[in-house]
Structure 1
Amino acid sequence: MKLKKIYKKWLLSNNLSVENLTNLEGINNLYNEVNSDNIDFFEKKEIWDNPAFVSSLEKLVVNYLKNFNTELKKEIESNSTNNLKNILGNSFKLLDSIAIFELFLKNYKDLTNTNSNEKVSIPTGKGLNELHYGAPGTGKSFEINNRFRNEIMSRVTFYPDYDYTDFVGGLKPQTDECGNISYTFEGGPLAKAIIKALNNPNKQIYLIVEEINRANAASVFGDVFQLLDRDDKSGISTFSINNKDLARFIDQKTESKFQYENSGVFLPGNLNIIATMNPSDQGVFPLDAAFKRRWKQVYHSINWNDASDITLKGFGIKWKDLGRKLNKALEQCNVEEDALLGQYFFKNAELEKSSGYEIASKLLGYLWNDAVRYQRQLIFNESNSFSEILNLFENDNNEVDLNKIFVKELCDYLRDENI
């Protein structure tokens, strides 16, 4: 909203005549005429900060009024009191218009804050909160990368010590050249994503949170948890949070167009948060029902039709067959689906370039330490230690005897080409 419109609204809201605006426009024209200038009093409001400028305007009006002296004498001699009152009244109104505009400018900052929502609205959009989960190797991150590869993305990975100040932001120490320490707010990935969304209102912004359950998500999100409730139409947070440091940081980076310090912090509708997790990972933090309810949950199933048919070094079996059969064995051991092997547990390039020892270390290591950690005897031949099993794969040219790795029933099942 331009200054002139704000001034007019202010006059009306304070029961002052709009004539004050007209009078000031007249003084503006007179000033430019006398000074051979082309200044707009409403566009260059900074000139009003100069007391000498205001004083010169008052003198200009006084000099202008001197031109009425002859007319005033005539009115006094003719006893025409009505015209005399009009002339004197208009004279004082011109001076009053200057004083009233000065008063308005003193309140200008508060006025712009009050009208900020009319000036700039928070961007709308999809407002996605998506939680992608499934067994390791089902292509969660791969699918997300493909889906949003042409969009503006930023990525963060959670880990056990990750906290609110890392993700949202917080006060952090800064040292100047003299060694003095001060504390300033430093925004985290979420704060920066909000800023990016506000500064790019016509674009969809995506914040990818990998391994969301490897940190205490409820603690990391903190009060931001409330912002995950989104309006169905606009995608903007239904509620705001009152975090003054975060709000001030965002306002500084967005030219205070959205005035979060006054309204509170909202997630813009064009900011989308996409998270991934493996529910069965060891040592992860469970997500409570209230937290998960605020996300659209996308499950990635296991599909061996999409798996590679490259033969694994040392095993002598195609990956799509070995992985599928190992999963059947794990299911017989009552291993939950989220802990099974995904079809992309190995990438094609990994199968082609990795040694048999590296492949065995990854595959058997997952089975030994995670999938059947507490019931290894159901699939592993426990006559050998894990290190002894891996040593069998030191020579890539040799196919390892599976009986030295797995129990006999599993070995027979893996070798059966009719299954």
Structure 2
Amino acid sequence: MLVYLKNVTNNDTKKQIETTAEAYQNFFGGDPNEASGIKVKIKEAYSGQVADVIVSKAAGNANSYRFSSERGTLTLSKLVLYSDKSFAAGNIIKMTKMREYFLLEIVEPQDSEFETLAAMMKNKQATIVCVDDNDEQYSEDDEDLNKDLRGKNILFYGVPGSGKSHAVDKICNDNSVMERIVFHPEYTYSDFVGQILPQIAEDGKTIEYKFVEGPFTRIIKKAKKEKNKMFYLIIEEINRGNAPAIFGDIFQLLDRNDLGESKYGIKNIDIAKSVYGEDKALEDVVIPNNVTILATMNTSDQNVFTLDTAFQRRWEMRQIPNIFSPDHEFANTTILDTTITWKEFNETVNNRIVSNNPMASTEDKRLGTYFIKEEDLKTGNNFPEKVIKYLWDDAVKFSRDIIFNEKDYSTLELVIDKFEKSARNERLKVFAEGLFNIREDTDYTTEIDEPIKGDL
């Protein structure tokens, strides 16, 4: 197989991609003196991005040909923007000549093929065009066009309201290529995979028993029919159900090979018949390389059902940072009629929670930046019933005095009642003295006759 290899140096991230006339003729083909369009596809499980690239002679260098696009110069860092691999010195850029495009990959030192590719580049050559006999992943005679897809198991975790589901939506929000489910204590293996249920036969008189597919089987079946498209199984709140019991023998399939397909298959007659056909009941069931599983987990809910190490290591764990992004929609919205913004409240409370006992995993109890919606900051009883109640009952249950004025308001009922019946910064008296930076000239208003209530 013909491949183009390039060593990544420290200058490559800012430098425009270029190649030699010899490499161009031997690999890309055509006359390098004439501008020609080349399609470069990035090996990426989520996007399958395709870039239209033009190669032209560099000014002042008869042997140098540079890559550009309709939007201007094209650096390697732009090409791998959507890749899951890091772009760093010491890596190898690998381009494989496919039928209709050139496939670009980043090969890191820890990857299995790195040593083989590095050995081809003798004497520390910057670029080389060669035949890679050891890589059988892509074949000119292979009609299966999904070989450049690579499914993964990715688990997003973070505090409540940090934006885990939003991270999932950025990868896939197309209902036609996904199955979305929520784990809960009553969710079972049968719900996940499928189960045999009684149904009325076509004659309308008799009862027959048929296998009814669950979301796992349905997504595998869809992926089998459309091999050139990535499909997604999305599991929200994966630790709110008994995940090992729900996955059952499917757990074995979570181990993936370099192509993104299950390393080991399992025997499951019902799934095999549904996915591969009635005559292939004994065929091994595997997760194909065009299925990605995305899951979310609240770190503060780990006491519901814990995920053991054996389960977690079969996922790419990705933490969602609990920070306010510059484009956060309501970071500077004030809480009701007070002078405290949501960002100030959130960061102040979170810092107090973490600093109270850093050895007790208190960071899991922090408020996420999207713990509430903007309308909750404007509705009288939404904020205390959601935020204050969570802090009192969960986040600081055993050390309430670090957040609350427990001396004057010793119960949650008194705290919420005071907060709702007061106005302006008088509401903030339910919190510990000095927690918020309130100016001395702030206009405190006494209690009002009736609490502000939200819509029923």
**Structure-2 residue corresponding to 1:157:** 182
Task: Indicate the percent of aligned positions where both proteins have the same amino acid.
Answer: 38
CA 1:322–1:357: 2 relative to 1, 3 Å: same
2:398 aligned partner: 374
Structure 1 pair 146/119, CA: closer, same or farther in 2 (3 Å)?
A: closer
Q: 1:198 is matched with which residue?
A: 224
Q: Distance in 2 between matches of 1:219 and 1:399?
A: 50
Deviation at 1:263, TM superposition (A): 2.3
When the two chains are superposed, the root-mean-square deviation of aligned CA atoms in Å is 2.8
Residue of structure 2 in register with 1:310 after alignment = 333
SS of 1:316's partner is coil
Match 1:275 to one of 274, 291, 295: 295
| Residue of structure 1 equivalent to 2:242 | 216
Q: Which residue pairs with 2:351 in the alignment?
A: 328
In 2, the alpha carbon distance for the partners of 1:173 and 1:315 equals 59
Decide whether aligned partners of structure 1 residues 314 and 174 sit closer, same or farther in structure 2, where only a CA change above 3 A counts: farther
* Aligned twin of 1:37: none
Matched, 1:297 2:317: yes
Provide closer, same or farther for how the CA distance between residues 297 and 260 of structure 1 changes in structure 2, counting only shifts above 3 A: farther
Q: How many residues align?
A: 289
1:205 Cα deviation after fit: 0.6
Asked if 2 retains the 8 angstrom alpha-carbon contact of 1:314 and 1:400, the reply is: no
CA separation in 2, counterparts of 1:184 and 1:377? 59
Alignment check: 8 A CA contact 2:403 2:435 kept: no
Q: For each residue in 1:152-210, what CA deviation from the matched residue of structure 2 results, as whole angstroms up to 9, or x when unmatched?
A: 22211111111100111122233558775543211111111101111111111111110
Partner letter of residue 364 of structure 1?
Answer: I
Q: TM-score, normalised by structure 2?
A: 0.58
Larger proportion of helix: 1
Q: What secondary structure is seen at the aligned counterpart in 1 of 2:301?
A: coil
Contact 1:185 1:245 in 2 (8 A): yes
- Aligned partners of 1:133 and 1:300 also within 8 Å: yes
User: 1:168, 1:120 → 2: CA distance?
Assistant: 30
Partner of 1:141: 165
In the alignment, which residue of structure 1 is the partner of 2:267? 242
TM-score normalised by structure 1 residue count = 0.63
Q: Distance in 2 between matches of 1:384 and 1:195?
A: 57
Contact 1:197 1:271 in 2 (8 A): yes
In structure 1, stretches of 5+ residues that fail to align are 1-117
1:188 matched residue in structure 2: 214
What aligned pairs does 1:223-234 form with structure 2 within 5 A after superposition? 223-232=249-258, 234=259
Quick one: which amino acid aligns to residue 367 of structure 1? L
Distance of 1:168 and 1:347 partners within structure 2: 35
Structure with greater strand share of residues: 2
Aligned partners of 1:390 and 1:413: how far apart in 2?
Answer: 18
CA contact (8 A) 2:221 2:274 kept: no
Give the deviation of 1:338 after TM superposition. Answer: 2.1
Please give the residue correspondences for 1:46-85 in structure 2 after superposition, counting only pairs within 5 Å: none
**Secondary structure, aligned partner of 1:226:** helix
Q: Deviations over 1:378-402 (max 9, x none)?
A: 3223334212322234468644432
**Per-residue deviation, 1:340:** 0.8
